[in-house]
Structure formats: structure tokens, C-alpha cells
Amino acid sequence: MADEPVASEEEATATEPESGFGFRLSESIMDAIDRQIISSGLRLIMFLPAFAAVTYFCSWAFSQSSPTFWLENIEPNVKLGFSMFMAALSFVVVLGYILAAGFHRYRVRISLATFHQRVEQSNVEHRSVQSLQGYDGLLYQLQTSMSHLTKSLGFALLSSLMLVVVLWYGTGTVYGNLFLLASASFLLLSIGQHLPTRSTPFNMVEQTGLLQAYIPPVHPSTLNMVFNDLMKTHMDPLLRAQYDDYTTHLEKVFKRGIDRHFAHEKFLMTLYRHATGLDRKTLEDEMAEILTKNGMDFVFNHEVFTLESWLRLIGLINQRCPAFFRMVDRLKQDLESGREPAMKDLIFEVDMENVVTEKANLFTLFHNLSNKTRTVVFRVQTPNFEPKDLALTYRLEPGESYWWSNEALPLAAQGNEDVLGKMSGLLKDSTVSWQTLIPTTNGDATVSVRLEETNGELLLGRQINVRVRSEFRQWLRTTGSYVAYLFGGFGVFVAFVLVLFEVFGGSAV
């Protein structure tokens, strides 16, 4: 159930303090507390409502009489029935939940204000973020999360007010039981509003804090600079604007005589290999082959694109597009072992996720090993995805160098006669296609891939078997949210109707 965002830009920016440093520090502290205790770590914002459900049930179940152990040993001393005690405990737990939800909302509000502050700062620096692709969708997502959290806090406050009425009338009375039902229902509605926000958490403390909340609206179908295009597609607009400045400066510190496209691909390929286990010393040696001394200082001491930021970004892309990295790893293994390609004059690789959730990413790589231009037709046929029949014609120019080896190569060595060098050149000169297929049914699915000559002659064909299903955590959150809306709304309606019936002279059942 989609809710319209209510947090306006003016409301978010209204919390901006005069000192940017103090603002940043406060957000850092609150984000640390939020992660360790509230939204993650102890997860108080989820644990407290779950515990409240137990106290609500106990208060309702023993509203007529207390259990024996309480009646004989505790009630004579405290002069309080077990049901009333559990209702009071419910109020304390809900109050704790309100404090946790309020803290979490305030932290998100500060992050949203920081986001607007960064956008304004980029505009002042003549680096427009609002014109970049995906900005409107990202802003809508952030404001929608803020809207959900505001409504969640509001429903929690209503739940606590209902408990005050319960404590006033007592749990054994008609009004007490009805308002107890209303309180539990409002708490369910609060949880229903909070659950969708857990799928897209964001913060502005880390440079990569917006990545999980940003979903690329579109992507290029043919990657020109493969790693570079893949990275930029998954960067949020703020990070992408900074990356454009970063690459502009990076090109100035490449060594002379090195092809800029090759240097870019080797730079990102080396970072990817570092993320998958390449040691720091080898990383620096490989970087030194394409970067000057000033370039090494620029890369390893950059404030935004630190090694940690690169690892987070690569990890996110690997999670969203595992097929691409599996295809790259397969080529790496072929080069390390000196395995010959299936066709001597053409390298053709294709891969897709084994498990598909919302969409399937189909990656294909074509590389012409001959010295003549070649035209091929790539055809995709599937009964389980849209589009069902796709045919693309590619004109493959010969590579500038022969980026393959029939002999086993080391992962990293001096020069470009190693896996890193060959892979970087292979990606630079290859044609990489990225197609998105939308599943039409759940369950087992097949995708047939054919590489043909222009006259229809089959060069190579493969069939990919995948399984289409919902992502479990996302399904659980969505289902839980709808269930909470359903039962919470129904509970509030029933309690309201029965209270009216009781007030106007009826007898509540």
C-alpha cells in the first residue's frame, strides 16, 4: 500500500543548524545509536511491539480473574490484579516503543535535511544533482520513508492514549476491554507503517549511505566502458555527481602513453579484485602501473571514494548483478588456466541469475579475436519472461590488441601480460550487452540464447534454467505490512463500533 509523502523539503531543511560540523557530528552519533540499538543490533523498534503483543494478550486473557500464583502471593501485597499489571506493563513497553520510533524518525529527518543540504551545496558548486537521472525517484523514496515513520509514530501515540483509558476504566470492564482492543490495533497499524521503511534504509553519515535506498530507473543496454558504466548506473545522484569530478581528475593522473579507457577498466578491475581477495601490496603495484605518484596519493587518500567506499559499492553491485561478476570470474578462470575459447575467432559469454526475484539481468560479452569486422545476431527466446523474443544485431570491430592467451597467466605481474591486464583490455574492446527480462510467472523458467550469423546460421546456443520467486525478506515485510493494516484497521473499526453501541444504550457482546 503506497502512501503519499508528507515530509516537504521546507520541513526537512528547517532542522538544519548553522554549524555544518555540529550537524554532521550529531547525525553520526544518532546513526550509531540507531544502528546498534534501535533499527538494527538489538532492534528495539521490532522487539518492543512483539513483547507488547504478549502483555496485551495476558491482560485480556486474565481480565476476569488473576492466575493462582498472582492471586495468592502478589495481589494481596501490591493491591493490583494481574490483568491491570499487564496493562500497565503494556503502557511502559509502548512508551519505550514511542521513544525508539521517535528517535529513529528524528535521525531519518536529520538525514533527509542533510540530503537537501548536499543538493543545495552541489548547485552552488555548479554541479546540478536534480537534473541527473534517478533524482526524482530517490527523493520520492526518501520522503515516502519519512511519511511512513511519521504515521507510525502517530499510531503509536494513539495506542498509548488508548492504554491510558484502559487504566482509567480497568481491564475487567466493557470499556477497558474495548479500548485494549483499540490500543493493540493502533500498535499493529504502527508496525504496518514501519515495516516498508526497513527495505530502503539510508543515512548521510557514510558516502555510500544512499545506495540501498536508490534503485536505478533505467540502465544502458550496451555498456561502452563496462565497469565504469556499471558503477555509474548503481550510484545515487549525489555520489554520481562526485564521481564525475573524480574521474575528471583521475584522467589527469594517469601515466602518459596509456589508453584512458584501458586505464579506467584496469583501475576498476583491480579494485574489484581487491574486493575479492587481492592483497593491498599487489593492489598498489597494479595501480602504480597506470597512475603517477600524485595519482596514487589522490586515489588512496581521497575523502569520498575511499577503499571502504569502493568495497561497499562493489559489494552492492555484486548483490544486484551477480551474473555480470560470475561471467567475469569465468573469463578470469579461463585466462588463468590457458583454456581456449569455444570459437577461435570469437569470445562469447552469457550469464543470468540462478534465482530471479523482481527482474532478471542478462549479461552477454562479445569479443572479436580476428582482424576483420564481423556482424552477428544475438537472439533471446523465452516463454517465461518479457520480452519473449529479442533479436539484436552487433557489429564487432577487431580489438586493438589480442586480449587472450592460450597459456596459463598469473593473476598479477609486472606489465599487462597477466590476468588483470588481459581482462581490462578484454572488457575495453569487447561489446557487453545488459538486458532486463521481466518474469511473467513464478517457478522454473528457461531462457534460450542463440548467437547467429546474419543469414540465420547458428554459431552457438545455450539454454539457461532459472527459478523465479519472491525475495523472502521483501515478501515477509510486504506481507507483514498488509496483514498489520488488515487486522489493525479491522480491530479499530470493531472497537469504535462497539464503543458507540455501548454509549448509545446497546449491550456490547
Average pLDDT, the chain: 89
Residue 1 is assigned to a structural domain of this protein: no
For the chain, what percent of residues have pLDDT higher than 70?
94
- Of 285, 320, 355, at which residue does a domain stop? 320
What backbone torsions phi and psi does residue 381 show, to the nearest 5 degrees?
Answer: -130, 130
| pLDDT for residue 6 is more than 50 | no
Q: Are residues 411 and 316 in the same domain?
A: no
Which CB contacts under 8 angstroms, 24+ apart, belong to 214-219? 214/134, 214/137, 214/138, 214/141, 215/137, 215/141, 216/134, 217/133, 217/134, 217/137, 218/133, 219/434, 219/436
Query: 349 has which bridge partners?
Result: 365
Range of the domain at 56: 9-205+474-503
Phi, psi angles (nearest 5°) of residue 451: -110, 120
Same domain, 40 and 170: yes
Same domain, 25 and 165: yes
> Are 368 and 386 within one domain?
yes
- 81 and 144 share one domain: yes
One domain, residues 221 and 337: no
In a domain, 495, yes or no: yes
Q: Which of 189-203, 208-222, 365-379, 418-432 has the lowest mean pLDDT?
A: 418-432
- Answer whether residue 17 shows pLDDT above 80: no
Determine which of 110-119, 232-241, 289-298, 343-352 has the lowest per-residue pLDDT on average. Answer: 343-352
Q: Is residue 415 located within the same domain as residue 441?
A: yes
DSSP, collapsed to helix, strand or coil, labels residue 142 as helix
Residue 192 covered by a domain: yes
Query: Cis ω on the peptide bond leading into residue 216 (within 30° of 0)?
Result: no
Per-residue pLDDT, averaged over 287-293, amounts to 94
Cα-based distances in Å from 418 to 93, 217, 349, 366, 422: 61, 37, 20, 21, 6
**Are 130 and 22 in a shared domain?**
yes
- Assess if residue 4 is contained within a domain: no
Gap between the Cα atoms of 432 and 219, Å rounded: 13
* Residue 330, CB-side half-sphere exposure with 13 Å CA sphere: 17
493 plus 362 within the same structural domain:
no
In a domain, 407, yes or no: yes
Residues 110 and 240 in one domain: no
- State the average pLDDT over residues 84-106: 96
Average pLDDT value for residue range 384-396:
93
In a domain, 49, yes or no: yes
Is 21 a residue whose pLDDT tops 50? Answer: no
Structural contact between residues 84 and 170, judged by C-beta atoms closer than 8 angstroms? yes
Supply the angle between the helices 293-300 and 237-252 in degrees, to the nearest 10.
160
Number of domains, the chain? 3
Say if residue 155 is in the same domain as residue 33.
Answer: yes
C-beta of residue 103 within 8 angstroms of C-beta of residue 95: no
Please tell me the predicted confidence (pLDDT) of residue 153: 97
**Percent of the chain clearing pLDDT 90 (strictly above):** 67
